[in-house]
Amino acid sequence: MAERETVRITGTYALSALGRGADALLAGVLTGTPAFTPVRRFDTTGRRVTVAATAPDVGTLAGELTDAIDRAVRAAGLDRAGRAGSALFLATHGGPYSLPVPQGWDEPTVPALAGHLAARCGLRGRTRTYTTACVSASSAVADAAALIRRGDLERVVVAAGYLVEPDQYALFDAGRALAADGAVRPFSAGRKGLLLGDGVAAVVLESAGAAARRGAESLASVAGWGRAGDAYHPCQPHPDGLGLARAAEAALRRAGLPPEAIGYVNANATGTPFSDASEAAALTRVFGGDAGRLPVSSTKSVHGHALEASGLLELLVTVLALRHGKLPVTAGWLGPDPQCPLDVIRDAPRPARTEHALTFNAAFGGADTALLVSTS
Amino acid sequence: MTASVPSPPRSCTSGPGETGTTPAEGAATARWRNDGVVVLAEARWPEAGDEGAGPAGVAGFVHSPFAPLVAAVAERCLARRYGTGPLPPGNRTAVVLVSAGGDTAGAAHVRATVAAGGRIGPLFFFQSVPNSVAGHVAARWGLDGPVVCLSPAGDPRAEGQAEADLLLYDGDAAQALLILIELAPDGTPGEATAVLLGEGTRQ
The residues that bridge with A178 in the sheet, in sequence order, are A194
Asked if B94 and B176 touch (Cβ cutoff 8 Å), the reply is yes
| Percent of chain A at pLDDT exceeding 70 | 96
Domain with CATH 3.40.47.10 in chain A: 7-213, 222-374
Separation between Cα atoms, residue A245 and residue A258, nearest integer Å:
14
Residue of A nearest to B170 (CA): A146
Give the pLDDT confidence score for residue B33 in this predicted structure. 78
Beta-strand pair B93-98/A87-91:
unpaired
What φ, ψ does residue A141 adopt, rounded to 5°? -65, -45
Separation between Cα atoms, residue A341 and residue A338, nearest integer Å:
6
State the architecture of A222-374 in CATH terms: 3-Layer(aba) Sandwich (3.40)
DSSP string, A167-205: HHHHHHHHTT-B-TTS---TTBTT---B-BB-EEEEEEE
First to last CA, chain B: 60
Separation between Cα atoms, residue A115 and residue A126, nearest integer Å:
9
- Cβ-defined contact of B125 to A172 (cutoff 8 Å): yes
Give the pLDDT confidence score for residue A94 in this predicted structure. 78
| Region A7-213: CATH code | 3.40.47.10
What residues of A are in contact with residue B119 (Cβ under 8 Å)?
46, 174
With a cut of 70, list the residues of chain A below it in pLDDT: 1-4, 95-106
Give the pLDDT confidence score for residue A52 in this predicted structure. 98
- A318 CA to chain B: closest CA distance, Å? 23
Q: How are the residues of chain B apportioned to helix, strand and coil, as percentages rounded to the nearest 5?
A: 30, 20, 50
- Cβ-defined contact of A231 to B144 (cutoff 8 Å): yes
- B36 CA to chain A: closest CA distance, Å? 13
Give the pLDDT confidence score for residue A95 in this predicted structure. 66
Asked if A162 and A309 touch (Cβ cutoff 8 Å), the reply is yes
ipTM confidence score? 0.96
Q: Which of A66, A94, A366 sits opposite B147 (nearest CB)?
A: A366
What residues of A are in contact with residue B150 (Cβ under 8 Å)?
128-132
- Cβ-defined contact of A174 to B124 (cutoff 8 Å): yes
How buried is B60 (Cβ within 10 angstroms: 0-12 exposed, 13-18 middle, 19+ buried)? middle
- Cβ-defined contact of B125 to A171 (cutoff 8 Å): yes
Eight-state DSSP code of residue A111: T
- Domains with residue ranges and CATH for chain B: 35-199 (3.40.47.10)
- B50 CA to chain A: closest CA distance, Å? 26
What φ, ψ does residue A59 adopt, rounded to 5°? -90, -160
Residue of B nearest to A307 (CA): B129
Give the pLDDT confidence score for residue B24 in this predicted structure. 38
DSSP string, B146-201: -EEEE--SS-HHHHHHHHHHHHHHHTS-SEEEEEEEE--TTSS--EEEEEEEEE--
- SS3 per-residue string spanning A257-279: CCHHHCCEEECCCCCCHHHHHHH
DSSP string, A39-102: --SS--TT-S--EEB--TT---HHHHHHHHHHHHHHHTT--HHHHHT-EEEEE---SS-SSPPP
Q: Please report the residues numbered 111 through 140 in chain A whose beta carbons come closer than 8 angstroms to any beta carbon of chain B.
A: 111-112, 114-115, 118-133, 135-136, 139
Asked if A232 and A331 touch (Cβ cutoff 8 Å), the reply is no
Among A186, A180, A300, A366, residue whose Cα is nearest residue B129: A366
Give every CB contact of residue A333 below 8 A, 6+ residues apart in sequence: A185, A188, A344, A346, A347
- Cβ-defined contact of B153 to A127 (cutoff 8 Å): yes
First to last CA, chain A: 24
- Cβ-defined contact of B23 to A175 (cutoff 8 Å): no
Separation between Cα atoms, residue B52 and residue B66, nearest integer Å:
17
Give the amino acid at B136: H
pTM score over 0.90: yes
Among A285, A273, A274, A272, residue whose Cα is nearest residue A244: A285
- Is A10 within 8 Å of chain B by CB? no
Q: Which helix (H) or strand (E) holds A372?
A: strand A367-374
Q: How are the residues of chain A apportioned to helix, strand and coil, as percentages rounded to the nearest 5?
A: 35, 25, 40
Q: Please report the residues numbered 168 through 187 in chain B whose beta carbons come closer than 8 angstroms to any beta carbon of chain A.
A: 169-172
Interface-testing mutation among A198, A227, A368, with chain B (most B C-beta atoms within 10 A) = A227
Q: What is the pLDDT along chain B (203 residues), one digit of tens a residue?
A: 333 333 433 445 433 333 333 333 344 445 677 778 999 999 999 999 998 778 999 999 999 999 999 999 999 999 999 999 999 999 999 999 999 999 999 999 999 999 999 999 999 999 999 999 999 999 999 999 999 999 999 999 999 999 999 999 999 999 999 999 999 888 788 899 999 999 987 65
A101: alpha, beta or left, given left = phi > 0 and alpha = psi -120 to 50?
beta
Give the pLDDT confidence score for residue A164 in this predicted structure. 95
Asked if A57 and A159 touch (Cβ cutoff 8 Å), the reply is no
Separation between Cα atoms, residue B180 and residue B42, nearest integer Å:
11
Largest CA distance in chain B: 61
